[in-house]
Structure 1
Amino acid sequence: MAGAKTRTGTRPEVGERPAPQETEGTVMALDLPPSPDLSPEMQAYFDKCREKIGFVPNVLLAYAHDSAKLEAFATLYNDLMLAPSGLSKLEREMIAVAVSSVNRCYYCLTAHGAAVRGLSGDPVLGEMMAMNYRAADLSRRHRAMLDFAVALTEAPWTIEEEDREALRDAGFSERDLWDIAAVASFFNMSNRMASAVDMRPNRTYHGEARALPGLDEA
């Protein structure tokens, strides 16, 4: 159109940009500093964490105000998540994230979402576990496993023999059934504790294992 002015430049930004989210240094909302009297075993455990992953997970620092509670938590966690089992470490982490998704647990979704991404090498799977595991292309085994864990989370009183039989039909042993239930139950407890005290995940977790396989790095 004759006489029309050409618009140049970029469109001015509208709205308000959120402030950068900084959580480093914040462990939880309660003022309970780590005990100076941690046992030698727990001190060694913290040193092992620093050696293997570069930091001490904040969940351990949150429990560290009471050495006995810290030892009990760490012992149970390591038994459920790391000890020999018919469930792989990745499968146990998938349960942790699916349960934490139902409970909307910021800490556990962040920390264990990173574990799923790292163990699977698939950041897409990690996002699906965190947002809606039903969106993922899962095997019969994994779908049955997560269906049971989520049912146990959402309505534990409805679990009956039919639910256990679905796991057996998917190839799980009786011991596997116990382990699925134990991991799901542990994370229901952990989710509630983390939410109750506003536990904050270490910042490192947010960026771990995010690269998509097969894509050239920019």
Structure 2
Amino acid sequence: LSAKEKEVVNLAVSQVNKCIYCLSAHTAIGKMNGFTDEQILELRAGKASFDTKLNALAKLAKNITENRGRTDEDVLNDYFAAGYTKANLIDTISLVGDKTISNYIHSTTQVPVDFPVAPSL
């Protein structure tokens, strides 16, 4: 996955897990990767009306996180139809897991947010 695609996953997962630290950090990083404020809010909601391929990725990341890995078949089929491969799927699932760990670390430790705080959805 590209840096931009990784941010899609990070934003969608952090929103589902309600991690304000990661949402704030990845909002800043998302901007550095060329996303607008409006696009970042969409990605956090698990969609991307501005890009078909990123839309499939955002939906998958949100779905995996919400369903704890029991991914909806339609969402998975849309992901592959958008051009992603089985190798991309393994990368995406790994990234969801990695980001979830970071989200849980913040939820437990409550490390102060040292980025501009992300707005609410």
Pairwise same-fold verdict (TM > 0.5):
yes
- 1:146 equivalent in alignment to 2:58: yes
Deviates more, 1:160-169 or 1:95-104: 160-169
Which structure dedicates a bigger proportion of its chain to helix?
A: 2
What residue ranges of structure 1 are gaps of 5+ in the alignment?
1-86, 208-218
Q: How many residues matched? A: 117
> What is the aligned counterpart of 1:191 among 69, 84, 103?
103
Match of 2:16 in 1: 102
Structure 1 counterpart of 2:92, from 180, 183, 189: 180
CA distance in 2, matches of 1:121, 1:99: 17
- For normalisation by structure 2, the TM-score amounts to 0.83
Is 2:63–2:71's contact at 8 Å kept on the other side of the alignment?
A: yes
Provide, for residues 23-62 of structure 1, a one-character-per-residue CA deviation record: whole Å limited to 9, x for no partner: xxxxxxxxxxxxxxxxxxxxxxxxxxxxxxxxxxxxxxxx
State the identity %: 25
Structure 2: gaps of 5 or more residues: none
Distance between the aligned counterparts of 1:194 and 1:94, measured in 2? 19
Asked which structure has the greater CA Rg, the reply is 1
Cα distance, 1:168–1:133 mapped onto 2, change above 3 Å: closer
Shift of 1:146: 1.1
Cα gap change, 1:163 to 1:100, in 2 (>3 Å) = same
The alpha-carbon distance between structure 1 residues 161 and 122, as it changes in their structure 2 partners (threshold 3 A), is closer
Matching residue's letter, 1:188 = T
Report the TM-score, using the length of structure 1 for normalisation.
Answer: 0.49
